[in-house]
């Protein structure tokens, strides 16, 4: 019998340190005997990576930006995430839909309800019956690495040439953070907020506790 798949997403603004812990958690999950698929958004497939490059480097309006994100996500779900979950693998994804709500909804100020409509279109799963309603593919756990934008900016200073998002002012990232807070308030049982404004070891312990409490490691 195939084990049930596991889907964990890592969220937060650049500089919050989430990427540092993705591989470490992957090793812990592999230690349980489960196959791990490491991936990211936007990206994860050849097509989605091309759309990522456009979104990060080409000028566009917020609607075009949001549509690109969801187009990349649809291909990612179809080609990578759903097949992996069907096999019983663990999918660890560096950002997922919450990032779209935070960045395009919070940071860009794009209409939240329109994003919700796109989310339903892209992430709807087949229902057993009409009475069961629409079920969306969401992570089983979302680790939100929460860090004050000013601290994130200090960590990233001079690290690399910024893309369209990283070059935004602090006020943009404050709005992104508020977007994450709003998203968490809408689905609190799925989220684990990780205080990223502490040592790497303390952050790692918080990550492990959040996953361990659900019996996955």
Bridge-based pairing of strands 135-136 and 124-125 is: antiparallel
Count other Cβ atoms within 10 Å, centred on residue 195: 11
Q: Is 12 annotated as a binding residue?
A: yes
Q: Encoding tokens for residue 43?
A: 């990206």
Sign of the Cα torsion 131, 137, 142, 144 reads negative
Residue 48 CB neighbour total at 10 angstroms: 25
Q: Is 43 annotated as a binding residue?
A: no
The DSSP secondary structure of 85-129, one letter per residue, reads HHHTPEEEEE--HHHHIIIIIIIS---HHHHHHHHHHHHEE--SS
DSSP 78: I
185 annotated as ligand-binding: no
Tokens of 193: 């907020």
Question: Would you say 189 is a known binding-site residue?
Answer: no
Using only C-alpha atoms, what is the Rg of the chain? 17
Does the annotation list 133 as a binding residue? no
158 is in an annotated binding site: no
31 labelled as ligand-binding?
no
Does 129 carry a binding-site annotation? no
**Residue 92 and residue 10 in contact, taking contact as beta carbons nearer than 8 Å:** yes
Residue positions in the annotated binding site? 12-19
Residue positions in the annotated binding site for ATP? 12-19
């Amino acid at each position: 019998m195939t084990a049930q798949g596991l889907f964990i997403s890592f969220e937060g603004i650049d500089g919050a340190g989430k990427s540092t812990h993705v591989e470490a958690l992957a090793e812990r999950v592999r230690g349980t005997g489960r196959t791990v698929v490491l991936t990211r958004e936007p990206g994860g497939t050849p097509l989605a990576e091309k759309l990522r490059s456009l979104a990060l480097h080409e000028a566009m309006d917020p609607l075009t930006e949001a549509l690109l994100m969801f187009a990349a996500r649809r291909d990612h779900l179809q080609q990578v995430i759903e097949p992996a979950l069907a096999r019983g693998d663990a999918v660890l994804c560096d950002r997922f839909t919450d990032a779209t709500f935070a960045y395009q909804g919070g940071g860009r100020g794009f209409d939240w309800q329109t994003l919700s409509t796109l989310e339903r279109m892209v992430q709807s799963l087949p229902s057993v019956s009409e009475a069961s309603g629409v079920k969306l593919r969401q992570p089983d756990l979302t680790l939100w690495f929460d860090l004050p934008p000013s601290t994130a900016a200090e960590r990233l200073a001079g690290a690399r040439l910024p893309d369209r998002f990283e070059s935004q002012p602090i006020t943009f990232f404050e709005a992104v953070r508020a977007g994450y807070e709003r998203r968490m308030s809408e689905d609190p049982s799925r989220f684990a907020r990780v205080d990223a404004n502490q040592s790497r070891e303390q952050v790692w312990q918080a990550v492990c506790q959040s996953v361990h409490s659900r019996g996955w490691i």
